[in-house]
């Protein structure tokens, strides 16, 4: 329950140098998870023992963030590049974040109706298949 509440609240204090705060991808991954929970399954975060992430882990966070944005439907034209993030190019990062936040403000379309029709179609197909197997079996028994 605690984790669900934390996912709804995104409270992060950013330093004045915003570019360096975004460079490791941690804040961006948390942001995309705030818009759509569990969009990024694994986030590399600094620890007290190792307060600075390696460049490979930073790059992995950035790639995970961009992959999650793509899966959420952000157009490629609105996505910044990994290079933009790692080089702290705020202009391009801002365009991506603005698009992500706008996407988060939209209410999700109800998909339960489509799922219901999929389930009904699935059941009807299998019932029809079973009936045909039953008729075929009894037809073979009657003609033998």
| Other Cβ atoms within 10 Å of 82 Cβ, number | 16
Query: Tokens 């996912």 sit at which residue?
Result: 7
Span 117-138, pLDDT tens digits = 777 888 888 898 888 888 888 8
Task: Give residue 97's pLDDT.
Answer: 92
Confidence (pTM): 0.65
| Other Cβ atoms within 10 Å of 27 Cβ, number | 18
| Other Cβ atoms within 10 Å of 6 Cβ, number | 13
Task: Give residue 10's pLDDT.
Answer: 56
Question: Structure tokens of 2?
Answer: 């605690």
Q: Number of helices (H) and strands (E) in the chain: give both, helices first.
A: 7, 0
| Other Cβ atoms within 10 Å of 14 Cβ, number | 10
| Other Cβ atoms within 10 Å of 59 Cβ, number | 17
Instruction: Give the single-character DSSP code of 81.
Output: P
- Mean pLDDT of successive 10-residue stretches along the chain, which has 144 residues: 51 72 90 91 92 92 95 93 90 92 70 66 85 84 74
């Amino acid at each position: 329950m605690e984790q669900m509440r934390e996912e709804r609240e995104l409270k992060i204090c950013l330093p004045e140098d915003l570019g360096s705060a975004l460079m490791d991808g941690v804040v961006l991954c948390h942001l995309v998870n705030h818009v759509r929970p569990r969009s990024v399954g694994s986030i590399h975060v600094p620890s007290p023992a190792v307060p600075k992430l390696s460049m490979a882990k930073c790059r992995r966070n950035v790639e995970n963030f961009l992959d999650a944005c793509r899966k959420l439907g952000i157009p490629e034209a609105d996505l910044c590049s990994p290079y933009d993030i790692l080089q702290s190019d705020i202009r391009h990062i801002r365009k991506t974040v603005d698009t992500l936040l706008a996407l988060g403000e939209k209410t999700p379309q109800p998909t339960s109706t489509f799922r219901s029709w999929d389930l009904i179609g699935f059941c009807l197909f299998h019932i029809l298949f079973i009936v045909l197997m039953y008729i075929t079996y009894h037809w073979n028994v009657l003609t033998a």
